[in-house]
Amino acid sequence: MSFTVRPPIRTDKIQEIITTVERYNPQNIPVLEAYLKEQCNSFSEHSNDPAANLALLKLYQFNPELLNIDAIGSILIKALTNLPGNDFILCLYLLSEQIISDESIVKILELKDLLETARFDAFWDILSNDSITKEITGAVKGFDDSIRSMIAKNISVTHQSATSEFLQLALNLDESDLSDFAKQQGWTINEETGIVTLPLIKDNEAKAVVISEQIPFVQLTKILASSSEL
Amino acid sequence: MYQDNFEDELTGYINVDVVADSYAAMDEYVDGEVAKELEEMKKQQKQQRYEKAQEQLQEGVEQIPAQVRDFIHLEERIMSFDNYCDLFNHILNSEKPVELELPNKWLWDIIDEFIYQFQSFCTYRSNLSKKAADTIEVLKNNTAVWNTHSVLNVLYSLVAKSKICEQLQASVNGQDPTVAAGEYGNCSLYKMLGYFSLVGLLRVHCMMGDYTLALQSLENIELGNHRALFTRVPACHVTLYYYVGFSYLMMRRYSDATRIFANILTFILRTRQYQTRSFQFDIVNKKADQMYALMAICLALSPTRVDEQIHSHLREKYGEQQSRMQRGGDDSLATFQELFLYACPKFISPNPPNYDAYLSSLSSSTANPNPTTSTSTSTSTSNPDTSNPNSNANQTFNRFELQEFQMKIFMHEVSLQLIVPTLRSFLRLYTSMKLDKLASFLDISPAELHTQLLVFKQRASQLKWSGGPNLLDGLPSSIGDLGFAIDNDVVYIAENKVGRKYADWFIRNSAKIGDLVKNLESNYLLPSSTA
């Protein structure tokens, strides 16, 4: 997700707020908060507008008395679904020591660390057993599914094949769900060996590339000019 | 002495030499090698003496109590702010464009100093400890002074008045920028102030931790263009690249950061001789040194090949730190931290601290027979009232807080990335390997290795800028010269290779044949023709 492309969900009003000096007007906090709710309630790939959410965090940074910790939580949860992109860390830089020691935020940071250190089974474990975590992530629609597809992406660039036990744990799916999911992703499961084969893409081929130098002609004009003087 | 060349801006190509020439012209460059060398020696001696004096001064300063050490009095800061307000009001609120032509360097200095004073005031006001109660009262009653909103307001107004964004947009689209500029934008005063304000915004946003907005301010400024306006003032050129590179580094776009730093550092190396006589030389040098440190960080996190000259300079300056960072472990984290603190910009908080809370804590501690300001700091940091982050009451009075917060976030990213160099050094030894065997080499469990490999792939994906007017753009691409894939229990590894470099060969041999031809002509052909 890019910051510069306007997502279809963004209205003209929001566009105006985040591209003009209106972004410093604290009266826009409720507007952006409502927009955040809308993003959380509609689940699709294009329902995330990190630029607008950063603008909201910026307003909180300037007006700490208007800060809404639940909204910050939602923004971070939204950003989690976009890992390994850099939205999450960009949000963090706008927070403060006090905010990140808040109980709910600490939980989210924990989830982020588990995802980023690829401890997926521990991640799902906390998600299904910890009540506070359940509550915060529940506010974002389709959270589980977007995390699952994110993990699947990570696996598919790393693996050519993997055991189905590993995939079940990493994706938090049981056997029948996994076979549905595998069909969706174009993975093939070998029933006998339990090995799942993933389609080859550029990133999981392990092919050596020869990097060759590209010199544009204009860079050589000087040497050519000097040779003509001879 | 001062020379401008406005008509050629934003058009066509140019190389380093043209910019360098303009520096030379600015600084009354004396030709002649001997004279130059003598100059150089004198300069170095002067520099050494100066450094020594500075050191002594520094030592002396540290013994002076802090109250006295605040060289600049609060009243002076306030007066300076009022002066700036008068100046900018005069420029921004006149009915017709103010008829004033000032050298670019001065205009840059106006904006640069304005932001510097803002930053130093923010640091000053957030460092409440050791300040007398009446000073704090004055601060409390003058919240409008160096207020973040007014500073931003000045910069945004200058940008808007000069229509600099429209001008840049027009020239990117190949239209005539003077049409878009309007009445004010066509005056060089407004145009350049507007342009430098964009760079100023980059810096202010960066200091507040908003790296997205920082890079967004530079929309339509083409960094690769050596004839762009920012090249007119060396300090501006360097500042711009420093903050862009730093933003990329914080955004986890290490390859972009490396590219930016390598670009400007090469430029500084090549124009060094012209810059020694510039009064901004010290600033440029200091920034360059910081950028080498940042680049060492980038390369430790995401190893790539860089220009040989830069590489050797880097090894000379930070070779030891580099190898420590790549080794991993606590030792390397400490090195990252050290370099980061040395090279990062000063961070500021957009809001003044809670003066009332501090005053009350001050009065309560004076009741205490042992009034120590450090207690108020330590209690407020160690016991944050986490259930109620909305209140400002528990705000710390520690001026390093912001520095530490940004560093903490960054260092956490680093700690996640740290497995990459070690793993990489092992992987590149093989082309295929059983997972459990590799794990035993690394002295970890196969499951652990598996997660590390997944992390490796995650971290290898970075956004990479690939042209376009916006610096935030980028395509997710996998960085690094190592590709691998896990096939159930075997990992296949392929390392990218660098092909032959033809350009270097071509240039060297062209030079050689040039010499040969010259030699032939002078030794054999010419005498015979004259004879």
pLDDT in tens, A32-76: 788 877 777 776 666 777 888 888 888 888 887 888 888 888 888
Q: What distance lies between CA B193 and its chain's CA centroid?
A: 21
Average pLDDT over every residue of B443-466: 77
Identify the band that residue B468 occupies on the pLDDT scale cut at 50, 70 and 90: low
**Average pLDDT, stretch B199-210?**
86
Using CA atoms, how far residue A159 sits from A85, B169, B272, B449, in Å, is 20, 45, 49, 14
Taking alpha carbons only, the member of B360, B147, A63 closest to residue B139 is B147
Class of domain A1-142: mainly alpha
Among A1-15, A200-214, B308-322, the range scoring the smallest mean pLDDT is A1-15
Confidence category of residue B58, pLDDT binned at 50, 70, 90: low
With beta carbons under 8 A apart, name residues in chain B contacting A171.
none
Residues of B in contact with A119 (CB under 8 A): 451
Residue of B nearest to A90 (CA): B251
Where is pLDDT greater, at B13 or B127?
B127
Q: Which amino acid is at A45?
A: E
Asked whether the predicted pLDDT for residue B248 surpasses 70, the reply is: yes
Q: Computed over its alpha carbons, how large is the radius of gyration of chain B?
A: 27
pLDDT higher than threshold 50 for residue B88: yes
**Quick one: pLDDT at residue B527?**
55
What's CA B194's distance to the chain center, in Å? Answer: 20
**Chain B residues touching residue A116 (CB < 8 angstroms):** 416, 455, 458
What b-and-e string marks burial along A104-135, b requiring 16 or more CB atoms within 10 Å of the CB?
bbebbbebbebbbbbbbebbbebbeeeeebee
| B29 vs B20: CA distance, rounded Å | 11
Pairing of strands A210-211, B497-498: parallel
Q: Which residue has the tokens 């927070």?
A: A95
Q: Token pair for residue B38?
A: 């003598």
Q: Cα distance from B48 to chain A (closest Cα, Å)?
A: 39
Residue A197 has pLDDT above 80, yes or no: no
In this complex, is the C-beta atom of B192 within 8 Å of any C-beta atom belonging to chain A? no
Q: Which residues of A touch B395 (CB under 8 A)?
A: 98
Taking only the tens place, the pLDDT of each residue in B362-389 is: 666 554 444 333 333 333 333 333 333 3
- Reply yes or no on whether the pLDDT at B18 is more than 60: no
Q: Per DSSP, what are the bridge partners of residue B485?
A: B492
Question: Which residue do the tokens 């920012």 mark?
Answer: B230
User: Do B499 and A206 lie within an 8 Å CB cutoff?
Assistant: no
Residues B466, A202: Cα–Cα separation, whole Å: 19
Residue B218 has pLDDT above 70, yes or no: yes
Q: Which of B253, B351, B506 sits opposite A62 (nearest CB)?
A: B351
Task: State the DSSP string of A142-161.
Answer: THHHHHHHHHHHHHHHHEEE
A213: left (phi over 0), alpha (psi -120 to 50) or beta: beta
Q: What is the mean pLDDT of residues B329-350?
A: 81
**Could you give the CA distance from residue A49 to residue A33 in angstroms, rounded to a whole number?**
12
SS3 category, B479: coil
Question: Are the C-beta atoms of A90 and B211 separated by less than 8 Å?
Answer: yes
Q: What is the DSSP letter of A119?
A: -
The Cα–Cα gap between A55 and B315 comes to 40
- Classify residue A169 by burial, with Cβ atoms within 10 Å: 0-12, 13-18, 19+: middle
Distance, in Å, from the CA atom of A144 to the CA atom of A30, rounded to the nearest integer, reads 27
Residue B485 has pLDDT above 50, yes or no: yes
- Give CA–CA dist B282/B261, Å, rounded: 18
Average pLDDT over residues B261-277: 77
Query: Which among A24, A67, A159 has CB closest to B486?
Result: A159
Q: What percent of chain A has pLDDT over 90?
A: 0
- Provide the residue ranges of all domains of chain B, joining segments of one domain with +: 16-59+70-343, 418-499, 500-531
List all residues of chain B from 491 to 530 with a beta carbon under 8 Å from chain A.
492-503, 506-507, 510-511, 514, 517-518, 521
pLDDT at B70 over 80: no
Whole-number pLDDT of residue A43: 66
- Find the closest chain A residue to B418 by CA distance: A117
Helix (H) / strand (E) containing B463: strand B461-464
With cut-offs at 50, 70 and 90, classify the pLDDT of residue B71.
low
User: ipTM surpassing 0.90, yes or no?
Assistant: no
**CA-wise closest residue to A63 among A91, A29, A32:** A29
Find the distance separating the first CA and the last CA of chain A, reported in whole Å: 55
CB contact under 8 A, B253 and A86: yes
Q: Tell me what the mean pLDDT of segment B437-448 comes to.
A: 79
At B374 the pLDDT is 37
Residue of B416, B488, B496 lying closest to A195 (CB–CB):
B488
Partners of residue A62 in chain B, C-beta under 8 Å? 148-149, 350-351
Inspect the interface and report whether the beta carbons of B488 and A65 lie closer than 8 Å. Answer: no
Give the H/E segment covering residue B442: helix B435-442
* Measured distance CA(B138)–CA(B15) in Å, rounded: 52
Would you kindly state where each structural domain of chain A is located, as residue ranges? 1-142, 159-225
pLDDT of residue B277: 63
Which helix (DSSP H) or strand (DSSP E) does residue B317 occupy? helix B308-327
Q: Cβ B350–A212 below 8 Å, yes or no?
A: no
Residue bearing the bigger pLDDT, A221 or B39:
A221
In chain A, what residues touch B461 (CB-CB under 8 Å)?
84, 157
Average pLDDT over residues B340-345: 83
CB distance B481 to A192 below 8 Å: no
CA–CA gap between residue B292 and residue B315 (Å, rounded): 10
- Residues in chain B within 8 Å Cβ distance of A21: 156
Q: Do B208 and A154 make contact, defined as CB atoms within 8 angstroms?
A: no
CATH code that applies to domain A159-225: 1.10.10
- What is the per-residue pLDDT across B414-424, written as a single tens digit (0 to 9) for each? 887 777 777 77
pLDDT of residue B59: 57
- For residue A123, give how far its alpha carbon lies from the nearest alpha carbon of chain B (Å): 13
3-state secondary structure B352-419: CCCHHHHHHHHHHHHHCCCCCHHHHHHHHHHCCCCCCCCCCCCCCCCCCHHHHHHHHHHHHHHHHHCH
